[in-house]
Structure formats: C-alpha cells, structure tokens
C-alpha cells in the first residue's frame, strides 16, 4: 500500500496536506495513492457554493463551517481562487477570510488555483474531494472562484449546489442566462439587509415557476445575511433536506456515478492534450504542417484531417509520454 495513502487513512492531517500538494503538482506517486484512497470514499457529503463576485460566498462558507463544527462534524474547505499570472498559484487566499478556523484541527482549509481551466473549477479539485472524504471529513465545502457565467463545473463535484446572489447587481437575469437555473439546488439571496433583496427573491421564485422543466426537487430561495449569520441555520436545514431527498430517491447515487464518468473523460482529455503538446514541440512533420497552415499553403481543417489520418501520427501518438 502507498505509504502516503496509509498515513492519510490513519487520520494523519499532514499526510492529507502532502497528498493534495502532490495532486496539484501532478506527481505520479499521487495516482498510486489515489488508487488506494478511492476505495475508502463515499461517506462525506459535498456542498458546492457558486455565484458572482461580491455575493459573499466566503462568508457563507465561514458561517456554515462554524455551525457544523458545533455538531462535532469535521469540515473540509476547498476555496478556488484566481490564478496568479506570475507564480501560477492561487491569489486572494480565502484562508485569510477564515482565520478563526485556521487552528481548529476539525477544519481543513485549502486554496487552489484555477490554472486557466474553464468552468470555475480545476479538475484536481475532484481528487482533493476524494482525499478529504477518505481522511474522515464529514462535510466538504467547495467554493468557486466567482467568475460569473462560466461556473457550471461545480455540478461535477457537488452533491448539493448553492447559488449565492447579490441583490444589488441584477444577478437574477444573468443567472437565468448562465444556465445556473438547471444546476442550483438552493438559492441564496445574501446581504438580505440591503434594498432589493426581497424583490430578487421574488424574481427568482417567479423564474422557477415559469420554467418548462418540472423537477422532483423544487429549489428553495433563502434570504441570508452571512455577516450576521441570519438564515444560516435555515440554510443548513435545507442542505440536509436535499441530502435526504437525494438519498431516498436514488439521485445521490446517480449523481455521483455521473460525476465519476465525467471525471474519467476529463482525465483522458487532459492526457491527450498533453501528448498533443509534446508532439507539437518535438515532431518536425507537425511543425512543418503548422507552418504551411500559417502561410495559407493549406487550410487548417484539411491539414488536421490529413495529419490525424497519417500512420506517423498514430505511431507518435501512442508512444508519446
């Protein structure tokens, strides 16, 4: 058995931190550890929190963590931050906003950079969630970066998806355009003490009623003020209600199976993309083809088909590392 996996399963938090770092770096040893870890997952519940910048997502995570910790449950937090254009690491650092949990051994907090990946959620987050699960975490909170209309990736990792909105920014209409109506399990109109909160909640309810889709679960619309803790207890009740609904209906099993299939395909795409980059750097025939395309000696589509059909491509592709 992988030593790092064995230590993680024994409850060693340092091993958890080490494995997550290995996953971020793409260390091959991390794959060996995850083979062992994967069989010990499925007990934790994952809640994703998405929404536009300024909606108070980090404060909601902070308040939820405080509430859940009172029950004795262990909480893991993965905060996805924008990528620094200089270091490639995460900036903003949500850990700064959650200082009161930093010394709590029952709370594990990690910021992770998007690294330019679309969907507001890097693929490595899914492996991180499994590592936290195997380490004995009860509740995992995944907060997306807050880039607006591209954050549909959260559905590929969360059991329950929370969408937080700001009453002052007209997000109700943008949410409908973004397709978030299809992924939200619970809506939060945060900063409920501000003007327009009630109107936004009413607008969201109206849009839900006008939807042509009739879901088995009707997403509740809650008013919260994360700064004061208003509505957080009700939010936790709704999360547990949704978990019960998914469990009894079989939806939780279906959702997780779909997520694993999607993650497999994403991993395949990632490896194939890396192999293509290696070919671009090392294959003189491909470099020559690129120059012809650039010089308008051939059109991009025809050149791509010819190269993909070539026996040289098949051989190089299969042997690429």
More confident residue, 253 or 305: 253
Report the 10 Å Cβ neighbour count for 152. Answer: 19
Residue written as tokens 């009413």? 202
Per residue in 231-263, pLDDT tens? Answer: 999 999 999 999 999 999 999 999 999 999 998
More confident residue, 27 or 234: 234
- Spell out the domain ranges in the chain: 41-118+138-249, 262-319
How far apart CA 134 and CA 186 sit, in angstroms, is: 26
Instruction: Say if residue 195's pLDDT is above 70.
Output: yes
Superfamily of domain 41-118+138-249: P-loop containing nucleotide triphosphate hydrolases (3.40.50.300)
How far apart CA 321 and CA 205 sit, in angstroms, is: 52
What pLDDT is attached to residue 92?
47
What pLDDT is attached to residue 84?
45
Buried b (16+ CB within 10 A) or exposed e, 99-118: eebeeeeebbbbbbbbeebe
What pLDDT is attached to residue 282?
78
How far apart CA 189 and CA 196 sit, in angstroms, is: 10
How wide is the angle at C-alpha 130 spanned by C-alphas 129 and 133, nearest 5°? Answer: 90
Which sign does the torsion angle of CA 116, 148, 90, 68 carry? negative
Reported confidence tier of residue 88, pLDDT bands at 50, 70, 90: very low
Per residue in 102-135, pLDDT tens? Answer: 778 899 999 887 655 554 578 889 999 999 999 9
What pLDDT is attached to residue 207?
80
Mean pLDDT over 206-235 rounds to: 87
The residues pairing with 154 across neighbouring beta strands, listed in sequence order, are none
Reported confidence tier of residue 274, pLDDT bands at 50, 70, 90: confident
Mean pLDDT over 11-30 rounds to: 91
- Is residue 171 within 8 A of residue 189, CB to CB? The reply is no
In angstroms, what is the C-alpha Rg of the chain?
22
- Is residue 107 within 8 A of residue 74, CB to CB? The reply is yes
What's the Cα-to-Cα distance from 137 to each of 129, 156, 238, rounded to whole Å?
9, 19, 20
Per residue in 128-178, pLDDT tens? Answer: 999 999 999 999 999 987 655 445 788 889 999 999 988 875 555 555 555
- Is residue 159 within 8 A of residue 255, CB to CB? The reply is yes
- Is residue 183 within 8 A of residue 155, CB to CB? The reply is yes
Report the 10 Å Cβ neighbour count for 221. Answer: 20
Instruction: Say if residue 94's pLDDT is above 80.
Output: no
Q: What is the 3-state secondary structure (H, E, C) of the chain?
A: CCHHHHHHHCCCHHHHHHHHHHHHHCCHHHHHHHHHHHCCCCCCEEEEEECCCCCCHHHHHHHHHHHHHCCCCCEEEEEEECECCCCCCECCCHHHHHHHHCCCCCEEEEEEECCCCHHHCCCHHHHHHHHHHHCCCCEEEEECCCCCCCCHHHHHCCCEEEEEECCCCCHHHHHHHHCHHHCCCEEEECCCCCCCHHHHHHHHHHHHHHCCCCCCCCCCEEECECCCCECHHHHHHHHHHHHHHHHHHCHHHHHHHHHHHHHHHHHHHHHHHHHHHHHHHHCHHHHHHHHHHHCCCCCHHHHHHHHHHCHHHHHHHHHCC
What pLDDT is attached to residue 149?
46
Nearest to 15 by CA among 3, 31, 1: 3
pLDDT > 70 fraction of the chain, expressed in percent and rounded = 81
Mean pLDDT over 83-91 rounds to: 43
Q: Mean pLDDT check: name the lowest of 40-49, 90-99, 144-153, 247-256.
A: 90-99
């Amino acid at each position: 058995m992988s030593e790092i996996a064995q230590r993680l399963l024994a409850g060693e938090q340092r091993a958890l931190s080490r494995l997550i770092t290995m996953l971020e770096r793409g260390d091959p040893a991390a794959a060996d550890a995850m083979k062992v870890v994967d069989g010990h997952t499925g007990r934790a519940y994952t809640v994703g929190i998405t929404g536009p910048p300024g909606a108070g997502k980090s404060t909601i995570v902070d308040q939820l963590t405080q509430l859940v910790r009172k029950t004795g449950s262990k909480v893991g937090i993965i905060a996805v931050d924008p990528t620094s254009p200089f270091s490639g690491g995460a900036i903003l650092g949500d850990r700064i906003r959650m200082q009161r949990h930093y010394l709590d051994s029952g709370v594990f907090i990690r910021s992770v950079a998007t690294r330019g990946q679309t969907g507001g959620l890097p693929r490595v987050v899914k492996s991180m969630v499994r590592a936290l699960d195997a380490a004995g975490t009860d509740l995992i909170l995944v907060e997306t970066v807050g880039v607006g209309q591209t954050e549909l990736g959260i559905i590929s990792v969360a059991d329950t998806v929370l969408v937080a909105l700001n009453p002052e920014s007209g997000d109700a209409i943008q949410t409908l355009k973004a397709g978030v109506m299809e992924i939200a399990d619970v809506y939060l109109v945060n900063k409920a003490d501000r003007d327009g909160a009630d109107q936004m909640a009413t607008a969201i309810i109206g849009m839900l009623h006008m939807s042509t889709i009739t879901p088995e679960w009707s997403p509740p619309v809650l008013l919260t003020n994360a700064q004061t803790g208003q509505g957080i207890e009700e939010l936790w009740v709704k999360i547990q209600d949704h978990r019960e609904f998914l469990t009894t209906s079989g939806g939780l099993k279906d959702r997780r199976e779909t997520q694993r299939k999607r993650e497999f395909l994403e991993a395949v795409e990632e490896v194939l993309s890396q192999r293509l980059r290696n070919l671009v750097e090392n294959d003189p025939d491909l470099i020559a083809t690129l120059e012809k395309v650039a010089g308008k000696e051939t059109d991009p589509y025809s050149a791509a088909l010819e190269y993909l059909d070539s026996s040289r491509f098949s051989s190089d592709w299969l042997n690429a590392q």
